[in-house]
Amino acid sequence: MAKLDAPFRQVANEALRAGLPIMEEPAAGPYRTNPHKIGRIVEWIEANEATLLWLAGASTFVFLATLIAVPWLVTRIPHDYFSHKRRRRLSRARPQPVLRALVLVVKNILGLVFVVVGLALLVLPGQGAITILVGILLLDLPGKYRLECWVVRRGPVLRSINWLRRRAGRPPLVAPRRPNRFLPRRRRGRR
């Protein structure tokens, strides 16, 4: 070990005290591993073992929940939901104001949860894009309908949704029409 430089010698001595096997000389080439960083990572994993187990359990639960919830929600969308220029009101009945406010708050919280979980599922196992779409469908935002139509117009998203609907025995979604970008939008109040 006399050939080793001082920083590596210190790391090697720490590894020896910890009982880890070491190499006599540092590995050459672009894939050289720094034993000190690996030791820190191993220590962090050991110190946070319970947290990592909870995260693994939560990831598994969310994965299984999306396998059930997302297809169920996607099949409940009316087949012509995206075929109109503006979103239709599904019900003309006006419920009590307190009940309407409560439903609106719960729906927006649930939509936000779906969007956040969908973003996480883009890197974790699960249906990330479809989960984000369901979350956006639940949120009440200005311009939401145009955003929904833009997302559903994407080929992979529409194919995935229609595949889920076909498996559930529902008719496929009517693809949203592309807006004519060359015509200016009419402003309200002007003819």
In total, how many domains does the chain have?
A: 1
What is the rounded distance in angstroms from the CA atom of residue 103 to the CA atom of residue 56? 32
- 31 falls within a domain: no
Q: What is the pLDDT along the chain (191 residues), one digit of tens a residue?
A: 445 466 666 776 777 777 766 555 555 555 566 666 777 888 888 888 888 888 788 778 877 887 888 788 888 888 888 777 776 665 555 668 888 888 889 999 999 988 888 888 787 766 777 788 788 878 888 887 887 788 888 888 889 889 989 988 999 888 777 765 544 455 555 54
- 4 falls within a domain: no
Per-residue pLDDT at 58? 79
User: According to DSSP H, which parts of the chain are helical?
Assistant: 6-18, 35-47, 49-75, 97-121, 128-138, 144-153, 155-167
- 60 falls within a domain: yes
- pLDDT tens across 42-76, in order? 888 888 888 888 878 877 887 788 788 878 888 88
Give the domain extent around 108: 49-85+94-167
- 67 falls within a domain: yes
Amino acid 71 reads P
Per-residue pLDDT at 34? 65
Per-residue pLDDT at 87? 67
Q: Would you say the C-alpha torsion 65, 164, 141, 154 has a positive or negative sign? A: positive
Is 75 within 8 Å of 169 (Cβ atoms)?
no
- 113 falls within a domain: yes
Is 150 within 8 Å of 162 (Cβ atoms)?
no
- 3 falls within a domain: no
Is 74 within 8 Å of 164 (Cβ atoms)?
yes
Per-residue pLDDT at 137? 79
Question: Which pTM was predicted?
Answer: 0.47
What is the rounded distance in angstroms from the CA atom of residue 41 to the CA atom of residue 33? 12
Is 82 within 8 Å of 154 (Cβ atoms)?
no
Whose CA is closest to 115, among 88, 147, 76?
147
Please report where in the chains the tokens 């087949």 appear, as a residue. Answer: 79
- 22 falls within a domain: no
Per-residue pLDDT at 173? 85
Per-residue pLDDT at 2? 47
Per-residue pLDDT at 46? 85
- 107 falls within a domain: yes
